[in-house]
A and B are shown apart, each in its own frame.
Chain A
């Protein structure tokens, strides 16, 4: 018996060593990891509840090496999971146990900053913030700023179509990328666009953004750089009722403003961040709203004065304007620290990422409150109010048996409610492995089949990141619920207002 097991293990590791040797024909042997200890850092991304060791980790340094890995994998029918900095929150970079984890961390060079055309050409492993730092001497910056911008890399940003606090005004990643070079699963290099504003043919740039590593392995990007605004100013408004804060947001938009940032936090989130970051948020508020305008000095001064009046008219108890840059940064520091701050309240927290039409905010928050009571788990809410992207943070303790399952069940209910009010299960974190079941609720069978057909147009054998982003129909059947709508509105039985 024991002999058989050993032989099996030996057989498996032989196959692994043999394939590693093939990879090493073009990659240094140190860039091919087959030992468990070496692979450990790659077992999960930012969604650490899901962990798995890959078969092999490959760390190519250039396009030729990456092409070699892909060609070999294609020839041997081996799955490939591409990975950037590993900060993703949906398990998109979770390894495949029988596949190669292709880390692009060595693709870490800024190839060019072109201040005249206002573009930067960068490799996927370059950190988001590093692009703005490189552009700063020219008075330019890269606009999308996910909270993890210090650590996350542009490859992952494009794969997930990341947002940030400024996307109402400056768009998501898809709006700021003009060129992509990617490799198909069979190792061919494709160039889409560059420094021009559009590309010939179908808009494959749009499809690659947010494609979660399912269509190709992206190896180079050209991104837009924008002039740094002359001035930015923020106001903090304090509300005793969360609905009033929601109405204030609607009034700001109706007033013709497109704020650079518009963020809302609820009582629990305020409490957590204030204890952690000392941003000066009032602890007795039901909700606070941060509204930032940027532009020329004249525009900003004019706008801030109008917004102050508007917020007071909408029932804000207090409106504070940052007196100087230090205070502005302090006001933002609280919001930016919201996730780690909530993390201190509880051993674990689970971050949701639904987007809803803003007008349903009150209804959604009420429902989250009810569900929170029902499941006995506290929920703090942080809201990109300008664009409707809601991040409920569920507080739990993974060491309590069954609590993670309970948390996932509660999270699932929240996402389902987001779909019911006409929203989506993910605004910016991606589907990955985490929200794959909810995809069955958001899309019909025909829509899911269309996604699979699109994927097959790029990757006919399904070797790129298998099992992520789009569920198989049999998975949906197993999950037991499928979004069925033959007619017009999804969930037509629901009242819509």
Chain B
């Protein structure tokens, strides 16, 4: 892949400023790989794909800064060359996936419960706020408590608080060895085992239950992985990497379906939740995918009753995830924050506007 480096900061900031002046809505667009999640937002397109390239990459500092339009493919190739990786294992959901879209959606892959989420690896951002101002928060250092942590606030905000220009990330060395072990068992037993393993000092890097099988990935040094494998006592499966990639990218057969797909984020040891439909459990039990036609209120109520929340991740008929409604006071804080960053309300709407109890 050819690495292209272009800085379009001032053009993009100019476009936002002009839009703010005439209160014109903008739709921030990367490759479009995650449009199914963000939904069809009305407004003039603000294409950030031209603003791309790695700005700095310091393998010995474990820090990489890149422009938002940089394709993940380019980033991951540069990291792989130095034996490093994005440890939150981001789903791409499309070949063109960019860093900006990845951070704006805040998705993390199977390694998340053991290594951390996208937001955990964000150290700094350069953004354009809704007034068209270029602002820089955080930086290229691991520890930084000067000012509020605006950079992490941008993760998962779906572009509604600012246009991402640059993101600085902590990166990690790739483990020397990775193996995947599988055990046939039902969901309730798998949940118990995933959590029991999580409480032991094992080099665990993923745990998932699909098709009545528990899949466990071990990552680390050659000897460390070997010892853990001996302890668990099964032979590694072939093509473990392919399995996890399919889970991460929703290419596993479970996801090949037109039924509404729900994502439930719950305490990991929650026993199987009584809702109609099919389940796939990832993140050691903390992220549960549900294909179900049950009414939204029922799914949300069940998720809440166990201390979690539910997102309609991929609706059957239209674009755009539907998020868990918020209590009134919390929803008010969300609206205040939106106004604080985007007073004219022109950036990607306000995605988290649903209030509990309101229709």
Which A residues are within 8 Å of any B CB, using their own CB? 114-119, 138-140, 160-161, 163, 167-168, 171-172, 174-175, 184, 188, 190-192, 194-204, 206-207, 209-211, 214-215, 227-230, 250-251, 253-254, 256-258, 295-299, 301-303, 355-359, 384, 386-389, 422-431, 435, 439, 442-444, 446-447, 450-451, 453-458, 469-470, 488, 490
CB contact between B330 and one of A190, A227, A387, A422 (< 8 Å): that residue: A190
What bracket does the count of chain B residues touching chain A fall in?
35 or more
* With known contacts A296-B202, A355-B142, A254–B60 Cβ distance under 8 A: yes
- Contact status A427-B143, CB under 8 Å: yes
- Contact status A210-B145, CB under 8 Å: yes
Question: Which residue of chain A has its CB nearest to the CB of B161?
Answer: A202
Q: What are the residues of chain B within 8 A of A211 when measuring CB–CB?
A: 148
CA distance A203 to B155 in the complex (A): 7
Say yes or no for B201: interface residue by CB 8 A criterion.
yes
CA distance A203 to B157 in the complex (A): 8
Extra contacts, 15 of them, besides A254-B60, A457-B336 (Cβ < 8 A), are A190-B327, A194-B267, A194-B307, A194-B308, A195-B307, A202-B337, A206-B119, A254-B59, A355-B141, A355-B143, A442-B146, A450-B129, A451-B148, A457-B333, A490-B136
CA distance A425 to B147 in the complex (A): 10
- Contact status A431-B152, CB under 8 Å: no
Question: Which residue of chain A has its CB nearest to the CB of B152?
Answer: A206
CA distance A422 to B156 in the complex (A): 26
Cβ distance A286 to chain B, nearest Cβ, rounded Å: 21
- Contact status A299-B287, CB under 8 Å: no
Which B residues are within 8 Å of any A CB, using their own CB? 7, 9, 58-63, 83, 106, 112-113, 116-117, 119-120, 129, 133-137, 139-150, 152-153, 155-157, 161, 172-174, 176, 195, 198-203, 220-224, 226-228, 265-269, 283, 286-287, 307-309, 311, 323-324, 326-327, 329-330, 333-334, 336-337, 339-341, 352
CA distance A450 to B308 in the complex (A): 31
CB contact between B152 and one of A200, A207, A230 (< 8 Å): that residue: A207
In the assembled complex, 30 residue pairs joining A and B whose CB atoms fall closer than 8 Å, in A order, are A114-B267, A116-B269, A190-B333, A192-B330, A194-B308, A196-B307, A197-B268, A197-B286, A198-B117, A201-B323, A201-B326, A202-B157, A203-B119, A203-B157, A206-B119, A207-B149, A214-B148, A250-B61, A253-B173, A302-B221, A387-B141, A424-B145, A424-B146, A426-B144, A428-B145, A442-B146, A446-B129, A457-B339, A457-B340, A470-B147
Q: What are the residues of chain B within 8 A of A358 when measuring CB–CB?
A: 60-61
The listed residue with most B CB atoms (<10 A of its CB), out of A209, A211, A358, is A358
Question: Which residue of chain B has its CB nearest to the CB of A431?
Answer: B146
Q: What are the residues of chain B within 8 A of A119 when measuring CB–CB?
A: 267
CB contact between A456 and one of B200, B267, B340 (< 8 Å): that residue: B340
- Contact status B116-A175, CB under 8 Å: yes
Question: Which residue of chain B has its CB nearest to the CB of A215?
Answer: B148
- Contact status B201-A228, CB under 8 Å: yes
* With known contacts A195-B267, A355-B143, A424-B141, A200–B224 Cβ distance under 8 A: no
CA distance A297 to B203 in the complex (A): 11
Cβ distance A93 to chain B, nearest Cβ, rounded Å: 15
CA distance A209 to B201 in the complex (A): 27
Q: What are the residues of chain A within 8 A of B324 when measuring CB–CB?
A: 200-201
- Contact status A202-B153, CB under 8 Å: yes
CA distance A201 to B337 in the complex (A): 11
- Contact status B142-A296, CB under 8 Å: no
Cβ distance B215 to chain A, nearest Cβ, rounded Å: 19
CB contact between B153 and one of A203, A303, A431, A444 (< 8 Å): that residue: A203
Q: What are the residues of chain A within 8 A of B149 when measuring CB–CB?
A: 161, 174, 206-207, 209-210
The listed residue with most B CB atoms (<10 A of its CB), out of A118, A139, A258, A301, is A118
Question: Which residue of chain B has its CB nearest to the CB of A296?
Answer: B224
The listed residue with most B CB atoms (<10 A of its CB), out of A115, A119, A447, is A447
* With known contacts A202-B337, A207-B152, A196–B308 Cβ distance under 8 A: yes
CA distance A167 to B7 in the complex (A): 33
CB contact between B106 and one of A203, A299, A431 (< 8 Å): that residue: A203
